[in-house]
Amino acid sequence: MGNIVKIRCKNCNIEQDIKIGAGIRFCNIEIIDILFNKGMTQKLKNTLDRNKGMTWFVRKEAAWCPSCKKIVECGVLTLNSADGKSGVYRSKCRCGSEVNLLTEDHACPICKRKMELTVVGHWD
Ligand SMILES: [Zn+2]
Ligand SMILES: [Zn+2]
Protein backbone atom coordinates (compact mmCIF):
# COMPACT_ATOMS: atom_id res chain seq x y z
CA MET A 1 0.00 0.00 0.00
CA GLY A 2 1.18 3.50 -0.78
CA ASN A 3 0.51 6.95 0.51
CA ILE A 4 -1.12 9.88 -1.21
CA VAL A 5 0.79 12.97 -0.18
CA LYS A 6 0.03 16.61 -0.73
CA ILE A 7 3.21 18.41 -1.62
CA ARG A 8 3.15 22.13 -1.24
CA CYS A 9 5.44 25.12 -1.55
CA LYS A 10 3.61 28.18 -0.28
CA ASN A 11 6.32 30.39 -1.64
CA CYS A 12 5.89 29.26 -5.27
CA ASN A 13 2.21 28.38 -5.09
CA ILE A 14 2.85 24.77 -5.97
CA GLU A 15 0.38 22.22 -4.72
CA GLN A 16 0.05 18.69 -5.98
CA ASP A 17 -1.33 15.39 -4.69
CA ILE A 18 1.01 12.55 -5.57
CA LYS A 19 0.79 8.80 -5.09
CA ILE A 20 4.01 7.36 -3.71
CA GLY A 21 5.09 3.86 -2.70
CA ALA A 22 3.91 0.57 -4.14
CA GLY A 23 0.40 -0.71 -4.81
CA ILE A 24 -0.96 -4.23 -4.71
CA ARG A 25 -0.56 -4.68 -8.48
CA PHE A 26 3.08 -3.59 -8.28
CA CYS A 27 4.29 -7.17 -7.82
CA ASN A 28 2.69 -8.03 -11.18
CA ILE A 29 5.22 -7.51 -13.96
CA GLU A 30 2.54 -6.12 -16.32
CA ILE A 31 2.54 -2.93 -14.25
CA ILE A 32 5.83 -1.99 -15.92
CA ASP A 33 4.01 -1.34 -19.21
CA ILE A 34 1.67 1.02 -17.42
CA LEU A 35 4.30 2.94 -15.48
CA PHE A 36 6.85 3.00 -18.29
CA ASN A 37 6.33 2.53 -22.01
CA LYS A 38 4.51 -0.25 -23.77
CA GLY A 39 6.99 -3.04 -24.40
CA MET A 40 8.97 -2.36 -21.24
CA THR A 41 7.43 -5.41 -19.49
CA GLN A 42 8.75 -7.64 -22.26
CA LYS A 43 12.19 -6.03 -22.05
CA LEU A 44 12.25 -6.63 -18.30
CA LYS A 45 11.17 -10.27 -18.81
CA ASN A 46 14.01 -10.73 -21.29
CA THR A 47 16.48 -9.18 -18.86
CA LEU A 48 15.27 -11.44 -16.07
CA ASP A 49 15.59 -14.50 -18.33
CA ARG A 50 19.17 -13.60 -19.13
CA ASN A 51 20.15 -12.88 -15.53
CA LYS A 52 19.46 -15.77 -13.19
CA GLY A 53 18.59 -14.68 -9.67
CA MET A 54 17.84 -11.08 -10.60
CA THR A 55 15.00 -9.46 -8.67
CA TRP A 56 13.00 -6.34 -9.42
CA PHE A 57 11.01 -3.88 -7.42
CA VAL A 58 8.97 -0.93 -8.57
CA ARG A 59 7.46 2.00 -6.71
CA LYS A 60 6.17 5.47 -7.37
CA GLU A 61 8.04 8.57 -6.28
CA ALA A 62 7.40 12.26 -6.48
CA ALA A 63 9.48 14.03 -9.08
CA TRP A 64 9.79 17.42 -10.72
CA CYS A 65 9.26 17.88 -14.44
CA PRO A 66 11.33 20.84 -15.66
CA SER A 67 9.18 21.15 -18.81
CA CYS A 68 5.74 21.05 -17.20
CA LYS A 69 7.04 22.97 -14.17
CA LYS A 70 5.10 20.76 -11.85
CA ILE A 71 5.41 17.87 -9.47
CA VAL A 72 4.59 14.58 -11.16
CA GLU A 73 4.50 10.88 -10.33
CA CYS A 74 7.50 8.90 -11.47
CA GLY A 75 7.84 5.11 -11.69
CA VAL A 76 11.13 3.92 -10.24
CA LEU A 77 12.26 0.41 -11.16
CA THR A 78 15.11 -1.14 -9.19
CA LEU A 79 16.87 -4.26 -10.45
CA ASN A 80 19.10 -6.27 -8.14
CA SER A 81 21.31 -8.90 -9.70
CA ALA A 82 22.44 -12.08 -7.93
CA ASP A 83 25.97 -10.71 -7.58
CA GLY A 84 24.79 -7.66 -5.67
CA LYS A 85 24.75 -5.07 -8.45
CA SER A 86 21.75 -2.86 -8.78
CA GLY A 87 20.34 -0.58 -11.41
CA VAL A 88 17.63 2.04 -11.20
CA TYR A 89 15.35 3.12 -14.06
CA ARG A 90 12.95 6.04 -13.93
CA SER A 91 9.91 6.66 -16.07
CA LYS A 92 9.58 9.93 -17.95
CA CYS A 93 6.90 12.56 -17.52
CA ARG A 94 3.79 12.21 -19.70
CA CYS A 95 5.16 15.12 -21.75
CA GLY A 96 8.23 13.02 -22.61
CA SER A 97 10.76 14.92 -20.50
CA GLU A 98 13.18 13.38 -18.06
CA VAL A 99 12.19 14.15 -14.49
CA ASN A 100 14.21 14.80 -11.35
CA LEU A 101 13.26 12.96 -8.20
CA LEU A 102 12.61 15.24 -5.27
CA THR A 103 15.51 15.34 -2.84
CA GLU A 104 15.45 13.68 0.59
CA ASP A 105 14.88 16.98 2.33
CA HIS A 106 12.03 17.87 -0.09
CA ALA A 107 13.60 21.11 -1.18
CA CYS A 108 11.39 23.02 -3.59
CA PRO A 109 12.80 22.63 -7.13
CA ILE A 110 12.26 26.34 -7.75
CA CYS A 111 13.03 28.27 -4.57
CA LYS A 112 14.92 25.49 -2.70
CA ARG A 113 12.91 26.05 0.46
CA LYS A 114 11.57 23.02 2.28
CA MET A 115 8.16 21.99 0.97
CA GLU A 116 5.26 20.81 3.13
CA LEU A 117 4.37 17.14 2.79
CA THR A 118 1.10 15.92 4.24
CA VAL A 119 -0.24 12.40 3.95
CA VAL A 120 -3.83 12.84 2.78
CA GLY A 121 -4.75 9.23 2.03
CA HIS A 122 -3.72 5.77 0.95
CA TRP A 123 -3.94 3.84 -2.26
CA ASP A 124 -3.37 0.23 -3.23
ZN1 LIG B 1 6.37 17.06 -18.11
ZN1 LIG C 1 9.21 26.99 -3.85
CA of 7 to the centre of ligand 2 (A): 11
CA of 14 to the centre of ligand 2 (A): 7
CB 45 within 8 A of CB 33: no
Domain boundaries, the chain: 2-123
CB 41 within 8 A of CB 33: yes
CB 41 within 8 A of CB 47: no
CA of 49 to the centre of ligand 2 (A): 44
CA of 60 to the centre of ligand 2 (A): 22
Q: List, for residues 18-47, the tens digit of each pLDDT value.
A: 999 999 999 999 999 999 999 999 999 999
109 band by pLDDT with thresholds 50, 70 and 90: very high
